[in-house]
């Protein structure tokens, strides 16, 4: 029968390997990958059903076709329940077996294609909303790629608006928990009692208003990822309970007595210096070290301005599609404004500016005039990179000179309007006025022969 099937299958373009019994078949299956297996139910030593189970352990998607001379419904049901693709009884027609085998191989190909497609889509969308090719961001991508498949706790640090939650989602999407829940805990927005109820759940009657039992976020995130946004804001008492869950992987619902076990991966984010918070007694030291196994430090946007053009393109495409508008980008003048600004709100602020521009523009490109005033009018400067010469410098003179040039450039950008210049420099108008007098700075209008408060062109002038 083996020889007949080998000849038949090879005539139809299949590559075939033969095994005289179950033990030999397992050796072959362990040595290389197969698309399908044709297995007789009656085999010496290792029976066909047992061989089926062992083959499926090696490759869960292997298509196994069972053959038997004893056509019984019970055997067929048992084989199908244990993973057989189909079942034929001897004597069988060659066309019948070929038809079933072709269907099995077709299903196997579809499974392989789906797996490859999922892998390709996962690679393509690995960092879907995290845009950047700067050296700092490439380091972040590399660290995420290395750390994501592990079970380790990850701490994501960065200023507000740098994309900490996006990084957490990328870690989850690139882990073996990707098909399990990703649950966000808004750590700083809830009072302690409500936060603990949300985290651990409660039983009926645990407190006033607890009219029924409720699952906590730890239970909901079981086998998945629990993301603590701004974990530095969690009250100290709750920190102790969180530490115990991380160490023991078990907890009790509020008001309950039953211990629940969970398998949850923790990713935490913060925009504060947790080490300083530990020193100040606002954060538990043991929890800090439990969280800080792998640290991902996100750079502020001002330190990776080379990523701004790519981010702009990404956000323009996103909001043009959402608003069904034909907007392709920004004008060169608008891009220069975006590159000159220091973005204290980071990527989130840039996204808001681009969304506003897409909504308001009537052209295919966002012009400079659609950039908000506070972005467009902010003067830009670069702190000079000084090297102290061997003879030394007078630090006070250097600082005074830099302060004077900064004030002058700000006044130029605001056409000499001191109130606006003071706002941009973060000073009180009276303080700025005192500094202008101390440095003997001549206002732009005065340099042009126009006193403060007078029109630039006098009545009757040509």
Task: Write out pLDDT tens, residues 62-119.
Answer: 889 988 876 566 776 778 888 888 888 888 888 888 988 988 888 888 777 666 555 5
Q: Is residue 346 pLDDT above 90, yes or no?
A: yes
- Same-domain status, 350 and 400: no
Instruction: Return the minimum-mean-pLDDT range out of 313-322, 373-382, 386-395.
Output: 373-382
Answer whether residue 397 is part of any domain.
yes
Quick one: 173 and 107 in the same domain?
Answer: no
Does residue 283 share a domain with residue 165? yes
Q: Let me know whether 255 and 322 are in one domain.
A: no
Domain that holds residue 442: 385-462
Residues 38 and 91 in one domain: yes
CATH of the domain at 364: 1.10.8.60
Are 144 and 257 members of one domain? yes
Contact 84, 58 (CB under 8 A): no
pLDDT of residue 361: 95
Domain contains 12 = yes
pLDDT of residue 386: 61
Q: Give the count of domains, the chain.
A: 4
Q: What is the pTM of this model?
A: 0.57
Domain boundary among 262, 297, 332: 297
> Do 14 and 93 share a structural domain?
yes
CATH code of the domain covering residue 94: 3.40.50.2300
Dihedrals phi, psi of 8, to nearest 5 degrees: -60, -50
Give the CATH number for residue 266.
3.40.50.300
**Is residue 229 a part of any domain in this protein?**
yes
Find the mean pLDDT for residues 236-254.
Answer: 90
- Residue 126 lies inside a defined structural domain of this protein: no
Q: Is residue 260 assigned to a domain?
A: yes
User: What are the pLDDT digits (tens) for 391-438?
Assistant: 778 888 878 888 888 898 888 778 788 888 888 888 888 889 889 988
Rounded CA separation 175/150 (Å) = 7
**Neighbouring C-beta atoms of residue 318, cutoff 10 Å:** 15
Q: Do 83 and 179 sit in the same domain of this protein?
A: no
| 111 shares a domain with 146 | no
Query: 357 and 392 in contact (C-beta within 8 Å)?
Result: no
115 and 205 assigned to the same domain = no
pLDDT at 128: 62
Half-sphere exposure of 82 (CA within 13 A, CB side): 21
Strand segments, DSSP code E, in 351-415 are: 365-366
206 plus 105 within the same structural domain: no
Task: Return mean pLDDT, the chain.
Answer: 84
- Say if 158 falls within a structural domain: yes
Tell whether 62 and 202 lie within a shared domain: no
Q: Which of these three, 71, 88, 121, is where a domain ends?
A: 121
Distance of CA 15 to the CA centre of its chain: 44
How far does CA 75 lie from the centroid of its chain? 49
Strand partners, 214: 202
CB 357 within 8 A of CB 370: yes
């Amino acid at each position: 029968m083996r020889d007949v099937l080998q000849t038949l299958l090879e005539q139809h373009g299949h590559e075939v390997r033969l095994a005289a019994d179950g033990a030999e078949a397992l050796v072959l299956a362990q040595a290389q990958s197969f698309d399908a297996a044709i297995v007789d139910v009656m085999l010496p030593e290792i029976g066909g059903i047992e061989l089926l189970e062992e083959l499926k352990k090696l490759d869960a998607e292997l298509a196994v076709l069972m053959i038997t001379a004893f056509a019984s419904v019970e055997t067929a049901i048992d084989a199908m329940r244990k993973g057989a693709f189909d079942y034929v009884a001897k004597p069988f027609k060659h066309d019948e077996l070929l038809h079933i085998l072709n269907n099995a191989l077709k299903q196997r190909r579809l499974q392989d294609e789906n797996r490859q497609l999922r892998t390709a889509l996962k690679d393509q969308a690995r960092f879907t909303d995290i845009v950047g090719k700067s050296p700092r961001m490439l380091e972040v991508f590399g660290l995420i790629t290395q750390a994501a498949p592990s079970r380790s706790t990850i701490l994501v640090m960065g200023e507000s608006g740098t994309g900490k939650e996006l990084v957490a989602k990328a870690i989850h999407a690139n882990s073996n928990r990707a098909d399990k829940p990703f649950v966000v805990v808004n750590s700083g927005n809830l009072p302690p009692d409500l936060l603990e109820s949300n985290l651990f759940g409660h039983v009926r009657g645990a407190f006033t208003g607890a009219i029924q039992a409720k699952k906590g976020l730890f239970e909901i995130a079981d086998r998945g990822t629990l993301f603590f946004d701004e974990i530095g804001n969690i009250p100290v008492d709750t920190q102790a309970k969180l530490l115990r869950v991380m160490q023991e992987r078990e907890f009790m619902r509020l008001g309950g007595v039953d211990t629940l076990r969970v398998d949850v991966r923790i990713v935490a984010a913060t925009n504060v210096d947790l080490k300083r918070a530990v020193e100040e007694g606002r954060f538990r030291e043991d929890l800090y070290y439990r969280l800080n196994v792998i640290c991902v430090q996100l750079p502020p946007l001002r330190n990776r301005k080379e990523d701004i053009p790519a981010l702009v393109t990404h956000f323009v495409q996103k909001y043009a599609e959402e608003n069904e508008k034909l907007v392709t980008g920004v004008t060169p003048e608008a891009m220069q404004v975006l590159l000159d600004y220091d973005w204290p709100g980071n990527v989130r602020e840039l996204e808001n500016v681009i969304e506003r521009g897409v909504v308001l523009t009537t052209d295919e490109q966002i012009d400079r005039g659609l950039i908000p005033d506070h972005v467009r009018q902010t003067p830009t400067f670069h702190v000079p990179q000084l090297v102290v010469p061997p003879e030394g410098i007078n630090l006070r003179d250097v600082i005074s000179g830099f302060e004077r040039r900064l004030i002058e450039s700000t006044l130029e950008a605001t056409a000499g309007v001191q109130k606006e210049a003071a706002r941009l420099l973060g000073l009180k108008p009276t303080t700025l006025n005192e500094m202008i007098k101390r440095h003997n700075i001549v206002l732009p209008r005065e340099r042009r022969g126009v006193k403060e408060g007078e029109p630039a062109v006098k009545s009757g002038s040509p």
